[in-house]
Amino acid sequence: MCGIVGYVGPDSNQRALDVIVEGLSRLEYRGYDSAGVALVADGEIAWRKKAGKLANLRSDIEAHPMPPSTTGIGHTRWATHGGPTDQNAHPHLGGEDDKVALIHNGIVENFHVLKTELLAEGVTFRSETDTEVAAQLLARAYGETGDLTEAMRVVCNRLEGAFTLLAVHADLPGTVVAARRNSPLVIGLGDGENFLGSDVAAFIGHTKSAMEVDQDQIVTITKDSVDVVGFDGTPAEGKRFEVTWDAAQAEKGGHSSFMVKEILEQPAAINDTLLGRTNEAGELVLDEMRIDPARLAAIDEIVIVACGTAFYSGLTAKYAIEHWTRIPCAVELAHEFRYCDPVVDERTLVVSISQSGETMDTLMAVKHARELGALTISICNTHGATIPRESDAALYTHAGPEIAVASTKAFTAQIAACYVLGLYLAQLRGGSQAEAAQQVMRELHEVPAKVDTLLGSMDRVREIARFMADTRSVLFLGRHVGYPIALEGALKLKEIAYIHAEGFAAGELKHGPIALIEPGQPVFIVVPSPSTPHNLHDKVVSNIQEIRARGARTLVIAEEGDESVVPFADEVIRVPATSPLLAPLLTIVPLQVFAAELAAAKGLDVDQPRNLAKSVTVE
Ligand code: F6R
């Protein structure tokens, strides 16, 4: 939630505003209900902030130009405390002379106590936000210490909750101070200029050289220095890394939306996630995880924790992991995990799945699991993010930057990464499944080409979506690995097309949901491959007949060559054949395309759906 940018550049080049607004445009997916900037110029803070998308702020700045400056901060917001108004937008100013400007991502949980204290001392507030409390406290602390870094340290030691803070002071051109606790912050290292951002997208147009910031640390940047200290004042060193993707990957590249582009990038996302995971003998090697294989081999339970789409990727992978490893695998919503008194110990492997690596609920679940002694692995798409750093090991998906709020390529990459992990565990445990692992890995490598072929045959799905633009409700059915795909298909439609959509396990139909079927009700059915054991395919075909008999309009996703569905389908959407456990990497694709096209047909903002934000960094 919320995108944050900070910049200090050379005196010769007073372009802070341009750099910050460009960074905000790349971070807008993190939150987009208001935006603002603050610059240090001529001994004052120049600021603008506007409710609505970044475009509103840009127009305001065009109408009321800002002064040239080397130093500034910028923010794009997802509202927590106080509605999305001009007043509640960041930056917030502090002190009687408004010399401090501060932006914030996260929630200051004890803001009420602090605000009461400040009000009693005569401070007046101009917003309903928790952030303004931090701005006022910082102004005070600066008055007492005369040092912005030290003042930030004093403030951070009073705040409870999760926060990334960035601040500038009117008397300090050339300096931005930042702090983080349980909320993202990364440093961009330029030549004669330095950057701060919620993620590397903030500065990817300028440098690929970056530095991680640890929990409870304060960073002070000037144009040619970066200093890090802990909240306790101990000097610290950041860890440098190179960003592996470039600015072009964070552009739409001629596509109508990032979501459409990212759907099309799935063959590469899956392929890159599988790359380098096997040695010449075809064995899986996950050296990057740096976990003692003996410890991994000894686990007797797997618990996957994640939220939203990432949760559904875990639910999908569970079938394969259990089949390959014969280890029980539970999949828990991260925000429930902590509160259900989970039974985990040192023989439990807790696998978190998170595209951003910053989802607060997932982070808290991982921390809780570690406290209970579990071994933790993070499947993550974002290098240097908090969750992988708080885990015992990380297995990165290589999907590249995912900008659209609705997750697509990260989903399929997450499933691929889970498969790699499952196969690796099977290999460690030995036996017949270990031998099978190499064969499955070979088959997995064929999937990206199949996804590519499938993407080339989506015209009819787009047509159906346009035709259904006025639909008010869509149901999704699936069974076995098709069940989580039905859930994910429904989620995609809800979040970007604002259509009531529900996914069900097809076997559950007769236990209640079939009452929803009335003439004309559109229902997508994800049909298992005919080669799925236990006649599951035939059972789902019977389910199709049952709903068709009650008037449902059946949109059937079935494998090439499966003719048995044809008599009962109003539409058949074909996917290339693959083994049943790998099929979700294909069957989800038409549902993603359907949602994106339908949302576009309704004239909605496909990439930035209402009320949502890409990275949910508050609980
Ligand atoms: C839906 C979507 C969300 C995220 C969820 C977890 O399209 O994107 O449901 O999957 O918020 O986010 P990460 O993966 O960043 O932890």
CA of residue 488 to ligand 1 center, whole Å: 11
pLDDT in tens, 543-574: 999 999 999 999 999 999 999 999 999 999 99
Per-residue CA distances from 532 to 51, 501, 578 (Å): 52, 27, 11
CA of residue 472 to ligand 1 center, whole Å: 24
Average pLDDT of span 130-152: 97
pLDDT, mean over the chain: 94
Predicted confidence (pLDDT) at residue 536 exceeds the cutoff of 90: yes
> CB neighbours (10 Å) of residue 144?
10
CA of residue 410 to ligand 1 center, whole Å: 9
Instruction: Say yes or no: CB of residue 618 within 6 Å of ligand 1.
Output: no
Q: What is the pLDDT of residue 68?
A: 97
Instruction: Say yes or no: CB of residue 313 within 6 Å of ligand 1.
Output: no
Q: How confident is the model at residue 383 (pLDDT cuts 50, 70, 90)?
A: confident
> CB neighbours (10 Å) of residue 130?
24
Strands, E, within 160-208: which ranges?
161-169, 176-181, 186-189, 194-197
Instruction: Say yes or no: CB of residue 543 within 6 Å of ligand 1.
Output: no
Distance, in Å, from the CA atom of 27 to the CA atom of 426, rounded to the nearest integer, reads 40
Instruction: Say yes or no: CB of residue 408 within 6 Å of ligand 1.
Output: no
Average pLDDT of span 211-238: 96
Q: Residues 2, 156, 307, 418: which is the catalytic one? A: 2
Average pLDDT of span 313-332: 97
Answer whether 3's CB lies under 8 Å from 163's CB.
no
Mutation choice for ligand 1 from 304, 313, 337, 359, CB with most ligand atoms inside 8 A: 359
CA of residue 193 to ligand 1 center, whole Å: 33
- Percent of the chain residues topping a pLDDT of 90: 86
Per-residue CA distances from 69 to 66, 219, 246 (Å): 9, 21, 27
Q: How confident is the model at residue 331 (pLDDT cuts 50, 70, 90)?
A: very high
Residue 267: half-sphere exposure toward Cβ, Cα within 13 Å:
12
- Percent of the chain residues topping a pLDDT of 70: 100
Backbone Cα Rg of the chain: 25
Predicted confidence (pLDDT) at residue 615 exceeds the cutoff of 80: no
Q: What is the pLDDT of residue 436?
A: 87
Q: What is the pLDDT of residue 2?
A: 87
Q: What is the pLDDT of residue 31?
A: 80
Give catalytic status of residue 329 as yes or no: no
DSSP 144-165: HHS-HHHHHHHHHTT--EEEEE
Instruction: Say yes or no: CB of residue 362 within 6 Å of ligand 1.
Output: yes
Predicted confidence (pLDDT) at residue 182 exceeds the cutoff of 90: no
Predicted confidence (pLDDT) at residue 617 exceeds the cutoff of 80: no
Residue 547: half-sphere exposure toward Cβ, Cα within 13 Å:
33
Taking alpha carbons only, the member of 77, 88, 183 closest to residue 129 is 88
* pTM score: 0.88
> CB neighbours (10 Å) of residue 294?
8
Instruction: Say yes or no: CB of residue 414 within 6 Å of ligand 1.
Output: no
Taking alpha carbons only, the member of 301, 344, 343, 346 closest to residue 325 is 301
Q: How confident is the model at residue 220 (pLDDT cuts 50, 70, 90)?
A: very high
> CB neighbours (10 Å) of residue 301?
16
Predicted confidence (pLDDT) at residue 618 exceeds the cutoff of 80: no
Instruction: Say yes or no: CB of residue 307 within 6 Å of ligand 1.
Output: yes
Residue of minimum CA distance from atom 7 in ligand 1: 406
Instruction: Say yes or no: CB of residue 495 within 6 Å of ligand 1.
Output: yes
Instruction: Say yes or no: CB of residue 1 within 6 Å of ligand 1.
Output: no
Residue of minimum CA distance from atom 9 in ligand 1: 308
Average pLDDT of span 381-391: 90
Reading across the β-sheet that carries 194-197, which strands appear in turn?
A: 44-51, 34-41, 71-77, 3-8, 194-197, 186-189, 209-212, 239-242
Place of tokens 């409700």: 473
Q: What is the pLDDT of residue 425?
A: 95
CA of residue 355 to ligand 1 center, whole Å: 7
Q: Which residues contact 275 (CB under 8 A, 6 or more apart)?
A: 398
Predicted confidence (pLDDT) at residue 83 exceeds the cutoff of 80: yes
Average pLDDT of span 134-153: 97
Q: What is the pLDDT of residue 29?
A: 82
Per-residue CA distances from 389 to 215, 358, 416 (Å): 10, 10, 21
Distance, in Å, from the CA atom of 161 to the CA atom of 180, rounded to the nearest integer, reads 11
Using the atom order of ligand 1, give the atom closest to the CA of residue 309: 10
DSSP 223-286: SS-EEEEETTS-EE-PEEEE-SS-GGGGS-TT-S-HHHHHHHTHHHHHHHHHTT-B-TTS-B--
Using the atom order of ligand 1, give the atom closest to the CA of residue 362: 16
Give the CA-trace dihedral at 151, 156, 157, 160, to 10 degrees.
Answer: 150
Average pLDDT of span 340-365: 95
pLDDT in tens, 13-45: 899 999 999 999 999 888 888 999 999 999 999
CA of residue 315 to ligand 1 center, whole Å: 14
Lowest mean pLDDT of 76-85, 102-111, 296-305, 516-525, name the range.
76-85
Taking alpha carbons only, the member of 329, 372, 402 closest to residue 29 is 402
Q: What is the pLDDT of residue 611?
A: 87
Answer whether 337's CB lies under 8 Å from 363's CB.
no
Predicted confidence (pLDDT) at residue 325 exceeds the cutoff of 80: yes
Give catalytic status of residue 614 as yes or no: yes
Distance, in Å, from the CA atom of 171 to the CA atom of 194, rounded to the nearest integer, reads 19
Q: What is the pLDDT of residue 32?
A: 84
pLDDT in tens, 443-483: 999 999 999 999 999 999 999 999 999 999 999 999 999 99
Instruction: Say yes or no: CB of residue 356 within 6 Å of ligand 1.
Output: yes
Residue of minimum CA distance from atom 11 in ligand 1: 308
Distance, in Å, from the CA atom of 445 to the CA atom of 370, rounded to the nearest integer, reads 33
CA of residue 137 to ligand 1 center, whole Å: 34
